[in-house]
Amino acid sequence: MLKRLLWVAIVAGFGLIALDQAVQGQQRAAFDPTAFAAAAKGYDVEILRDALGVPHIYGARDADVAFGLAYAHMEDDRATFEEILPLYRGQAARFQGRDAIAVDYLIAWTGAREAVEAGYETRLSPAVRAVFEGYAAGLNYYAAQHPQEVDKRLYPVTAKDLVTGFSIQHLFFYGFDGAVRRVMAGPGEQAEAPPLLAHRFLGGDVPIGSNAFAVGPARSTDGATRVLGNSHQPLTGPVAWYEVHLESEAGWRMHGGLFPGSPIATIGATPNLAWGVTVNQPDLVDEFLLHTDDDHPGQYRLDGAWRAFETRTIRLSVPLIGALSWPLTRTVLHSVHGPVLETDHGLYALRFAGYQEIRQPEQWYAMNRAETLADWQRAMDLSAIASFNFIYGDRAGNIGFIHNSRSPLRTPGWDWQKRLPGDRSDLLWSETQAFHDNPQVWNPSSGFLLSANQSPFFVTAPEDNPDPAGYPVELGLPTRMTNRADRGLELFLSKPRISAEDFEAIKFDKVYAAHSRAMAYVNSAQALDAPAGALLEAAQGVLARWDRSTDIDNREAALGVCVLSEEWLAERAPRAPAPIDTQLQTCAEKLMAHFGRLDPPWGEVNRLRRGQIDVPIGGGPDVLRAIYGREQTGDGRLTAVAGDGLMIFAEWDAQGTPRLRTRHNFGSASTRPGSPHYADQAEAFAEETLRPVTWSRAELEAQGVRRTHLKP
C-alpha cells in the first residue's frame, strides 16, 4: 500500500509539473514580440529628456505622443505598472498570492471590466480610443524590446485594461472602499473589516489629501495670475506622481503629472490654462439593507412585493503552484438598488455614483486639450469624473473653484449617512447633481481661492463663498475643515496684495493654525495635573513653548507633532482620540528612548530618504508644507512617505506670458535605483527650491537633452 501511494504521489507530482510547464508554455506563446512590434508600426515619436530626466514627448498625432509616453514610463517605472496591472484585470491573487482573492472578487463585483467591454466602442470617442491604443502599443513595444526584463505573463496589454483601471481607481479616491468596509464590518460601530482595495490602489492608510491655490490679477502685486497644483499622494507606488511634458502637432500641449498606466495628465498646465486637483469625498455611496427570508429564496421584498435577484457569474483564479491556478466561480446578486454584498449579517445593496461609468478618460482628455475657459468648462460638463475639487486659472486672468461631485439627488427627510431600508422604491435615486449646480466660485472679488480638502463653503473671503443654504443636506457635501485650509485662508486674508514670493511662501508654510482642531487637542495638555518633576510635567513645558511651527530647527515640533498626530489620525478614522495624558506620556517616553531628550531638532527626527539621500525636511501632517512620515528604521526617526510630491506652479504675467516651475519629491519618478534620476531632485525638494520648465522645444534642446526617436 505504501509503495502504491508513493508511486501515485510521484506520478501526480510529475503530472503537475507537466501541467505547469504546459500552462507556462501557453503564457510564453501569448508573449509575441514580433506581433508587438508589428502593432507598433506607424507610430513616430521623439522623447527628449531634460537635465533631470523628465521626458518631453513630441509627435505628430496625439496617439504618437501616448505611444512615446508609455515607452518612457516603462523606462522609468516598469515595476509599478506591472504591479498594478493585475489589479485592473482582477488577477491580483494570481500574482500576489491567495490573500488577494478578496480584492479580485471586489473588482469583479463592481462590473467595471464588463462595462468597459460593453461601452468601449460606443461611449469613448475615436480620439480617446486612439490615445489609449497608442499607449498600450507603447507598453507592448517596450516589452518586445526588453523581453528579459518584463513579466511576460502580463503582455500584451490592451487599451481596455487601461480604461478599466481609470474606472476602478476613481471609485476609491472618493471613499467607496470605506462603504464596503462598513458593510463587511457589520452593524457594530467598533467592528473592524479588512482594508481591501484602498491599501492596494491608494497606498494603504497613507494620507490622500491635496493643496491647490489660485490668485488673480486683482489680488496679485504685479497683475499676474498664479495657480498651484500640489496633490498629496504617497511618494511611491501606484498613485505616486510621474512628471511629463506632452506635445503633438495636432494641438495637445500639456505639462503635468499622471499615474502609472495613464496616457493623460490629470494635473498640470498648458500655455493657456492650468488646474490643480484636491480630494473632496462627498457622500456618494448609499447602503440599503435588503429584506429576505427563507420562504422566498432568491428574492427580496420591495414595496410589499417579492422580486427575484438578477444574477451574474464571476470567475476567479486561486493560485496553486507555479503557473497553475484553480478556477473558482461565484454568483453576484443584483437588485434594483445596485450590486449586492452578501454577509453573515444580511444582504446589502450599494448604490453609488460612477457605477459602471467608463468616460473618465474622455473628460480628462478634453481638459488636456482645452484652450480656453469655455473649452475647459465644456469638458467638466461631461460629469464623468464623480468627485474631486478643482482650482483653475488661465492666461486671461480667470480663476475658479469647483466642488465637482456627482452627488445623488436624494429624497429629503432621511438620514442618508445611515443604512437605509431596502424595501422602499421611493428611496432609489437615479439622477445626480449637474456640474453647473455644484458649489463653485468664479473670479471672486477677493482675488484668491484655496482648496485643501475642506468644506466647499470656505474657500475664499467670506463675502465670496458659496452659501450652504442653497444646497440640500441630502447631497452629503463635506463639512470638515483642515488645518491647511484654516491656515491658508488666514494667510491669504492677511495680505491685501499677494506677490510671487508671498504665493510661494504660503505653499511652504509650516505652521499649525492657533484655532485648529489639532492645536485644541495639544493645548488641552496644559490642564493636566502632572506631578512635579515628572516626565509629563517636562513635556507640558515643551508644548507650552511651541510656536506651532515645523521648520527643521524647531525644538518643540517633535513632541508637538507626535501629540497632534493622534488627533489627526482619529479624525480621519473616525474615532475618539486617545486621552491627552496617555498620548503625551507615550510621545515623551518615545523621544527620551530614541533621542535622550524631549526637544530634538525637528529635522533630526523628520527625514526625506531615497537611496543614499537622507536629509532633514520641514513640514508635518496637515500643514501647508504637508509631510507625512512613518517610522521605518527603528531609530525613532520618521521617513516621509506621503504629502507634498510633484508641485506645479503655473503663472501668466500681466501681458499673458506663461511661466512654469515644478519640483518632484525624488526625481522624474524613476524607480530604478541605478538611474541617475532616482533621487536627483530629493535635496532640492527638501530645500524647497523650484525648477523652471520651458514651453519652447528650441530652448529645451539648447539646454542639452538625451534623445530617443521611436519609429518602429
Per-residue model confidence as pLDDT tens digits over 77-105: 999 999 999 989 999 889 988 888 888 99
Helix axis angle, 62-89 to 159-173, nearest 10°: 70
Q: What is the pLDDT of residue 202?
A: 47
Secondary structure (DSSP) of 631-677: E-SSSS-EEEEEE--SEEEEEE-TT--EEEEEE-SSSTT---TTSTT
Domain boundaries, the chain: 286-352, 517-623
Distance CA 387, CA 405 (A): 4
Residues of the chain where predicted confidence (pLDDT) is lower than 50: 8-9, 11-24, 189-198, 201-203
3-state secondary structure of 18: helix
Secondary structure (DSSP) of 141-155: HHHHH-TTTS-GGG-
Distance CA 377, CA 356 (A): 23
Whether omega for the bond prior to residue 156 falls within 30 degrees of 0, making it cis, is yes
Pairing of strands 310-319, 253-258: unpaired
CATH architecture of 517-623: Orthogonal Bundle (1.10)
Q: What is the pTM of this model?
A: 0.93
Alpha carbon of residue 266 to chain centroid: 11
Q: Enter the C-alpha cell of residue 581.
A: 495624558
Query: What Rg, from alpha-carbon coordinates, does the chain have?
Result: 27
Q: What is the pLDDT of residue 21?
A: 47
For residues 648, 651, 657, 661, the Cα torsion angle rounded to the nearest 10 degrees is -30
Q: Enter the C-alpha cell of residue 505.
A: 511662501
The phi, psi pair for 513, rounded to 5°, reads -65, 140
Neighbours of 279 (CB within 10 A): 21
Helix (H) or strand (E) holding 214: strand 209-215
CATH of span 286-352: 2.30.120.10
Secondary structure (DSSP) of 573-638: TT-PPPPHHHHHHHHHHHHHHHHSSS---HHHHEEEEETTEEEE---BTTSSSBEEEEE-SSSS-E
Q: What is the pLDDT of residue 7?
A: 61
Per-residue model confidence as pLDDT tens digits over 239-250: 999 999 999 999
